[in-house]
Structure 1
Amino acid sequence: MIRKSLMALTLTAPLIATPAFAQDPAEGIWTTQPDNNGNYGTVQILPCENRICGVLTGAFDGSGAPLPSENIGRAIVWDMQPRGDGSYENGKVFSPDQGRTYNAKMALRGDQLGVAGCVLGFCREQTWTRAR
């Protein structure tokens, strides 16, 4: 009887002791900085296998009124590799106002996410704020 109990415990212990995977600290909804036209958006950052990606979930004009946009639902951040220290590298970011894809990196600082990207020597940087 004791032997069977020990065997059952041995077989189930790994299931009990296995920790749940922690959510990446960058996951969530972020409000972008206004673009050159004064428009901004909301982006949902989420895991994509072992990387981070983001989808545009809303677009707004400078007064906060919703804007129709063909980019809503589009992946605008992808292939970001977490470094474990709040920074991400080797990813891509699409800028809807420029219609360009940039080689990008991100840096998390509390409730702010620095997003920087470059293409052909032209670089842009924005600070996104965690939506409440």
Structure 2
Amino acid sequence: MKKTLTLALVALTLSAGIAVAQDPIEGVWQTQPDDGAFAHITLAPCGDKFCGLISKSFRDGKEFKSANHNKKLVYDMVPQGGNKYEGKVWRPSNNKVYLGKMSLSGNVLTMRGCVAGGLICSKQTWSRVK
């Protein structure tokens, strides 16, 4: 009995050690419309940073298969503390890469694409899908 209890405790301890805390930005986010379309972006770890792939695209409220499907929109995002992140963002409509800044508040992710070392930024507010 004692041996069975010990084995059960060891198994429970090992399985608890395997569980890894998920970062709050991980999940699927809906972008604001940009040039008449919006997308679902799946944010997940990529190495020691975070990346966001275009997982679905919508135009006029209907899903369509975009040429940008599965492309990275967000990459090299590094946590800065206080639910803030910095990395890079790609804007498909003009094929430019910008300094990216993200700020998380509950189920709202404020995304900024910046130029001039972060002095001039354009922002979007994304909402959590799941």
TM-score normalised to the size of structure 2? 0.80
Per the TM alignment, residue 64 of structure 1 is displaced from its structure 2 partner at its CA by 1.0
State the alpha-carbon separation in 2 of the partners of residues 94 and 54 from structure 1: 10
* CA displacement at 1:15 relative to structure 2: 4.4
Q: Paired residue for 1:100?
A: 96
Tell me how far 1:19 sits from its aligned partner.
Answer: 6.3
What's the secondary structure of 1:18's corresponding residue? helix
* Alignment match of 1:55 (pick from 35, 53, 56): 53
Are 1:115 and 2:114 an aligned pair?
A: no
Name the structure with the higher strand share.
Answer: 2
Question: In structure 2, what is the Cα distance between the partners aligned to 1:86 and 1:76?
Answer: 19
CA 1:17–1:40 in structure 2 vs 1: closer, same or farther (change >3 Å)? closer
**Looking at CA atoms only, which structure, 1 or 2, has the larger radius of gyration?**
1
The alignment partner of 1:83 has SS state of strand
C-alpha RMSD over aligned residues? 2.3
Distance 1:86 1:44 in 2: 17
Number of equivalences: 121
Q: 1:85: which partner in 2?
A: 82
Q: What TM-score do you get using the length of structure 1 for normalisation?
A: 0.79
Structure 1 consecutive aligned stretches of length 4 or more whose deviation exceeds 2 Å: 12-20, 119-123
Q: Which runs of 5+ in 1 are unaligned?
A: none
Identity within the alignment, %: 41
Q: Which amino acid aligns with 1:81?
A: V
Relative to structure 1, the CA distance from residue 100 to residue 24 in structure 2 (aligned partners, 3 Å threshold; closer, same or farther) is: same
Q: Which runs of 5+ in 2 are unaligned?
A: none
